Structure formats: structure tokens, C-alpha cells
Amino acid sequence: MPHVELRDIHSTLGGISILRGMDFRIPDVASTVAGDPYIVLLGPSGCGKSTTLRTIAGLQSPDQGQVLIGGEDVTTRPSRRRDVAMVFQGDSLYPHLTIRQSLAVSAARTTDRSKRESQIGRAILMTGISAIADRHPDRLSGGELRRAAIAKVIASGASVRLLDEPLSALDASVRHGLAADLRRFHDTDAATTIHVTHDGDEAMRMADLIAVMAGGRIVQFDTPSQIYDAPNSVTVAQSIGTPPMNFLNASIANGEVCFEDDRIRLRRCESVDHIVGISSASSVKNIIVGVRPASVHLGELGSTSLVLSIVRSSLSICRMNHSLLITVPIEGQAFAALLPRTTLFETTSLEKDTVSIAAGFDDLHFFDRATGIRINDRSDR
Ligand SMILES: Nc1ncnc2c1ncn2[C@@H]1O[C@H](COP(=O)(O)OP(=O)(O)OP(=O)(O)O)[C@@H](O)[C@H]1O
């Protein structure tokens, strides 16, 4: 299927610079994915995700840069000649047409009548909307409307499908069902899919590749596991994970990592050169140490690890579905630990006056505090 590529796109809206050197290029790691990768564009509200989709679709012209589809420069080509279909935020269905009629409008560029009919029939079947196909949009629920909007994209027969927040504002069961269906549509139909969301969990669940966006450009384009396990910056680390990664301020002094909060230490810390993978002679002195809540354990660990000793009374414990969420205030933030729910029943550790929680060295992420850029290389370990 045709790859979508953006080269150094700059875009201004209402005098404000939105896309600032946006490069969207499928990374080499895509070769490890079977078939066409399902791509999720992830970023906080207002970072320019919809603007990116509109630029690919040809609904907005960039001030500078190139849009390529299947290797062809389509920057100046009108939207209708780009082989692209888009689901907009807030469903783009014609209010005066039935869903079937809307699908026919979408399929109109297929000139062969029987092929067009088959595209429409297939879209109705795949999205399971046959019972509602002859209704108008004002007679449909939010979930049905979303299905109908996705059917429109399938009926268009376009090779590039752009989905802008296709799962937002749906109740949990509808959202999970539709998420599974979107993956199925992608896997059974040859198409390039780019799905926009601000929800890191949704991105993790759905994507083969995640493009994390911040400040009008892509900051990491990688597999979900690399984004989770080896985020290249604090910004990327924050974009994935519930609760989000914990961040602790520390500095490098005399070859050791010293935390600002003296309840925290690195146990069996031999030397910065050895453990952090950066030279103690490096100019980086102030760092941030990141640890995911799911990497935290109760009690001390045998190997090199970060250990946090806390007074029992400062802990808050909250029961989640499958885990216990423990939080403790550190540096004005809630440091979170996700422990197995059985911890509460199987251990007496939580009853002591001072509780130790720890994370193994391999689960720590080191960032330069000045730039937010990662300074340890996980592949070295
Ligand atoms: N037509 C416009 N005129 C001026 N500013 C605009 C226009 N369209 C969007 N913007 C601004 O551009 C910025 C990026 O908008 P965009 O919709 O691309 O962000 P987004 O990442 O998709 O956000 P969200 O997740 O909230 O939909 C926002 O600050 C928005 O207010």
C-alpha cells in the first residue's frame, strides 16, 4: 500500500505556527511488522494532529514542505485526486442523506457501477451497519454514527485511510468493540491507516507503529514497545502509560547519582560510567530518573536498584481492577507504584512503620534535565 510521507512541513493557522518542520517518514523498524503497519499519531490536544491529517488529505496547504503518497509528490494535488479518505472528529455524515446514500457519495469516484455497489455492500457488511443503512444520521446513536463514518471511508475504496479520534466520546464497551473492528478492517483490507488519538493506552492497544507528536513535529516514530521501554525523551515517556512514568530529580556528583529527595538512593551503585552509560566527565550534571509505576516492587531488590524508603503513614493505597495503586508524595508529585492486588493480602511489608519500594536498574530511564533527552541506551544492557 502507498506510504505516506511528509517532509519538513510548516503550517500556520490564524497567524500561529502549528506544524514546525513536520517530518513523517515510516521508520525502518516497520519491516519487522507483518503487512502494512497500523499507524497511530499520538499527541496532546492542540499539538497539530488534525492539521497533519488535513495536510495529508489535501484539505489544507502547507506554507512549506512536501507531501508524498506512494512516493509521488502530491503537495499541490487537490484532495479528490489523492486516493485518501478521512473520518473527521465529530462524524462527517450528510444530515439530509441516509447512511447508504452517504456511502454512495463516498464511492462515487469509482466509475464502474458494479464495483461501486460492491464497495458499498462490503463496507456495510464489514462495519455491521445493515440494520441502520437506510436511516438518517439523526436517528443513530454515537456508536452507530461512528461505524457509519468508518463505513464511508471503507466504501470510498481509498488506499489511505485517515481516522481522526475515531474512538473518542464513546462508552467503554462500544469503544473496545470498535477498536477491535478497526484493527480487523485494516488487517483484512489492504490500506494504509493513520489513526489519531491523544490517548496513550489506545495507541498502545491498536498500533504497530506510534508516531509521537509534540510542538508541531514528530518526536519519536517507533514500535509501541520501544516507545514504552525506551522513550527518547521525557515528552515521549509522558505520552504512554497509566498512571504515567514517575520522574525524580537527581544529579551526578563524584561519579554517583544523588537524588534530591534523600529517601531515595541507588543501591550497589558502582560508578556513573558503569551504570548510567554516560561518562562522569560528561557535561550532564542534572538529570531526571524515570520509573514506570508497573516496574516498582515492594521491598528491596538484590541487584542494582533504586530504593525508596517511606514512612507507612505517607502512603495512599487504592484498589484498582487487577492491581493496587500506591502513591507517595515526592517533590510535590504523587510517585505511583502499581503492585499486584494480592500484595495487600500476602505480605506484611505494608504494615511496617517504614516501607521500602524498589525498581530494578534495567527499569530506570535517565534523562538530561536541561533538554529532557534520554541519556542511557537500553540496548547497551
Ligand atoms: N482554522 C484555524 N485557525 C486558527 N487556529 C486553528 C485553526 N484550526 C486549528 N487551529 C489551532 O491549531 C492548533 C492545532 O490544532 P489541531 O486541531 O491540529 O490539533 P490537535 O492536535 O488535533 O488537537 P485535538 O486533539 O484537540 O483535536 C490548535 O491550537 C488549534 O486551536
Which of the given ranges, 50-59, 188-197, 324-333, has the highest pLDDT on average? 50-59
CA–CA separation, 152 and 158 (whole Å): 10
Percent of the chain exceeding pLDDT 70 equals 90
In a domain, 299, yes or no: yes
The bridge status of strand 316-319 relative to strand 256-259 is: unpaired
51 and 8 inside one domain: yes
In a domain, 278, yes or no: yes
In a domain, 279, yes or no: yes
Q: Quick one: average pLDDT of 285-307? A: 85
pLDDT classification of 177: cutoffs 50, 70, 90: confident
Count of structural domains, the chain: 2
- What is residue 380's predicted lDDT score, i.e. its pLDDT? 42
In a domain, 161, yes or no: yes
209 and 251 inside one domain: no
In a domain, 160, yes or no: yes
The residue among 183, 208, 231 that closes a domain is 231
The residue among 231, 260, 281 that closes a domain is 231
210 and 251 inside one domain: no
In a domain, 241, yes or no: no
pLDDT classification of 347: cutoffs 50, 70, 90: low
Q: Which atom of ligand 1 is nearest to the CA of 89?
A: 27
Model confidence at 268: pLDDT above 90: no
In a domain, 236, yes or no: no
What does the mean pLDDT of the chain come to?
A: 87
In a domain, 240, yes or no: no
In SS3 terms, 267-335 reads as: ECCCCHHHHCCCCCCCCCCEEEEEECHHHCEECCCCCCEEEEEEEHHHCEEEECCCEEEEEEEECCEEE
Which residue's CA lies nearest to atom 18 of ligand 1?
48
- What is residue 281's predicted lDDT score, i.e. its pLDDT? 57
Spatial contact of 257 and 287, defined as CB atoms under 8 Å apart: yes
177 and 250 inside one domain: no
Model confidence at 225: pLDDT above 60: yes
pLDDT tens digits along 69-89: 999 999 999 998 898 998 887
190 and 214 inside one domain: yes
The residue among 197, 231, 265 that closes a domain is 231
pLDDT tens digits along 251-264: 887 777 889 998 89
Query: For the ranges 106-115, 346-355, 361-370, which has the lowest average pLDDT?
Result: 346-355
- What is residue 143's predicted lDDT score, i.e. its pLDDT? 85
218 and 263 inside one domain: no
pLDDT tens digits along 136-172: 999 998 889 988 998 998 899 889 999 999 888 778 8
pLDDT classification of 91: cutoffs 50, 70, 90: low
- What is residue 249's predicted lDDT score, i.e. its pLDDT? 95
150 and 255 inside one domain: no
Which residue's CA lies nearest to atom 25 of ligand 1?
45
**Residue 325 C-alpha to ligand 1 middle, in angstroms?**
35
pTM of the model: 0.90
140 and 198 inside one domain: yes
The DSSP annotation for 21-54 comes to EEEE---GGGGGSSSSPEEEEE--TTSSHHHHHH
Residue 160 grid cell:
489511505
Q: Quick one: average pLDDT of 339-362? A: 72
Q: Which atom of ligand 1 is nearest to the CA of 47?
A: 21
Best residue for ligand 1 mutational test, from 47, 55, 88 (most atoms within 8 Å of Cβ): 47
Residue type, 136: H
Backbone angles phi, psi at 365, to 5 degrees: -120, 125
Q: Is any atom of ligand 1 closer than 6 Å to the C-beta of 43?
A: yes
CATH classification at residue 185:
3.40.50.300
Query: For the ranges 57-61, 270-274, 299-303, which has the lowest average pLDDT?
Result: 270-274
Residue 61 grid cell:
496547504
156 and 276 inside one domain: no
217 and 259 inside one domain: no
Give Cα 326 to chain centroid, integer Å: 25
Spatial contact of 315 and 325, defined as CB atoms under 8 Å apart: no
Residue 248 grid cell:
525524580
Model confidence at 381: pLDDT above 50: no
- What is residue 55's predicted lDDT score, i.e. its pLDDT? 97
152 and 49 inside one domain: yes
155 and 278 inside one domain: no
Q: Is any atom of ligand 1 closer than 6 Å to the C-beta of 18?
A: yes
Q: Quick one: average pLDDT of 283-294? A: 89
Q: Which structural domain range is residue 304 located in?
A: 246-380
